[in-house]
Amino acid sequence: MQNEELRRTQVELAAEKERYFNLYDLAPEGYCTTSDKGLILTANLTAAAMLGVSRGSLIKQRISCLIINEDQNIYYLNRKRLVETGEPQTCELRLLRQGKDVFWVKLKATLVPDSNGAWVHGVMMSDINERKQAEDALRKSEEKLKLANELLQAAKDDLEWKVEQRTHELQVTQQQVLHAEKLSAIGKLSASIAHEFNNPLQGLLSILQGVRKRAIMDEEDRELLDAAISEGNRMKALIRSLQDFNRPSSDKQVMMDLHQSLDSLLLMHRSEFKGRRISVVCNYAKKLSQIMAISDQIKQVFLNLLANAADACDHDGGVITVSTWQDNGRVAVRINDTGIGIKPEDMDQIFHPFYSTKGEVKGTGLGLSVSLGIIQKHEGEIRVESQPGKGATFTVLLPIKGINSEV
């Protein structure tokens, strides 16, 4: 009777054990136990399937070998806390499936007794790869959205800056148009006055020259008459310069004598320079070839350079030196002043449109920009040298042969 009862008990225990292990293997989470050294002692079928290996190959393998290198520290820190506190520990890290495919799991480790009553580590593994992928996709979307917002803001800021710049340019352009209209009106008035003065002046000169030929005068009176004729001729040359300068451009190249053009411009500024205590020195080449150029445009360039030189010397007077020479099929005109010079930070910008160091009243910011454009169209170049407090030197080089292509 006792043997029968013992046999029945053993059968029931075997059935209970079989049912337990069936439930253990069919659990939705992977589960394994490890020694305090990290060796896998037991593993259910879910854990083996999750890792893509057989259960037998897991036994006696170190669990750390299943974790990618970057997450090893997470595992060891988790195990250390479990040993020190005895409390369950949870972490998220990445495992290797079949030694190559990486996937995310949530590990929950606890201390559990084995069949001999010794404490081992029970590790439950939940696959969270889909959640992690969704979180990663969300994070990337947020980063893209942030980048898009930053680009949008940058584009907005750039557009606002461009609108502000364009508005400023339009305002400056409007001022320049008004300034140009005033200059045009003054030019027309000057040309008209010059025309009206020319005829009577020519008559006076004819009378004075006739008197000089026929009249008998003492030496003092003859000197006064010669002085009057000389001043009349100077007025005539000045009137001719005004007429030439204000004559509309034909945009056609003509033979041009640079010395004669420079002399006429200097004559126009003679009284102005004298009033500003500016002296002019001319170091002309003994022989300078004429050039093919659009005369009034080249005169405009030298007029701008002379005006800038005079403005640079405006505080305490100074000296403007005009030099010419000829070299390698080109003529050169150098205009040097002893004025305030140009700051190094301004050197790269002086030829930019609307850039001026003279202030709103004096400076239009177009003189050097227009001059550079004219010289480049004539296939020449402008060079500049300057040091603050030591004046500036502008050198214009122009080809003698003229422009190859139509300006």
pLDDT tens profile 240-287: 666 655 555 556 788 889 998 898 888 877 878 888 888 889 999 988
Question: Is 231 among the domain residues?
Answer: no
Question: Is 186 among the domain residues?
Answer: no
Question: Is 157 among the domain residues?
Answer: no
Q: What is the mean pLDDT of the chain?
A: 79
Question: Is 218 among the domain residues?
Answer: no
Question: Is 98 among the domain residues?
Answer: yes
Residue 407 is predicted with a pLDDT of: 38
**Which residue would you say has higher pLDDT here, 347 or 136?**
136
188-226 pLDDT per residue, tens: 666 677 667 777 877 777 787 777 777 777 877 777 777
205-213 long-range contacts, CB within 8 A, separation 24+: 205/229, 205/232, 205/233, 205/236, 208/232
Question: Is 237 among the domain residues?
Answer: no
**Which string of DSSP letters, residue by residue, matches 137-189?**
HHHHHHHHHHHHHHHHHHHHHHHHHHHHHHHHHHHHHHHHHHHHHHHHHHHHH
Q: Which CATH number do you get for residue 258?
A: 3.30.565.10
Residue 247 is predicted with a pLDDT of: 55
Local confidence band at 90 (pLDDT 50, 70, 90 cut-offs):
very high
**Ordered strands of the 30-34 beta sheet:** 40-43, 30-34, 119-127, 101-113, 89-97
The residue from 69, 97, 127 where one domain ends is 127
Is residue 394's pLDDT more than 70? Answer: yes
Residue 335 is predicted with a pLDDT of: 92
Domain interval for residue 42: 2-127
pTM, entire model: 0.44
Question: Is 60 among the domain residues?
Answer: yes
15-35 pLDDT per residue, tens: 444 444 444 676 788 999 898
Residue 294 is predicted with a pLDDT of: 84
Is residue 38's pLDDT more than 80? Answer: yes
Among 4-8, 174-178, 291-295, whose mean pLDDT is lowest? 4-8
Q: How many domains does the chain have?
A: 2
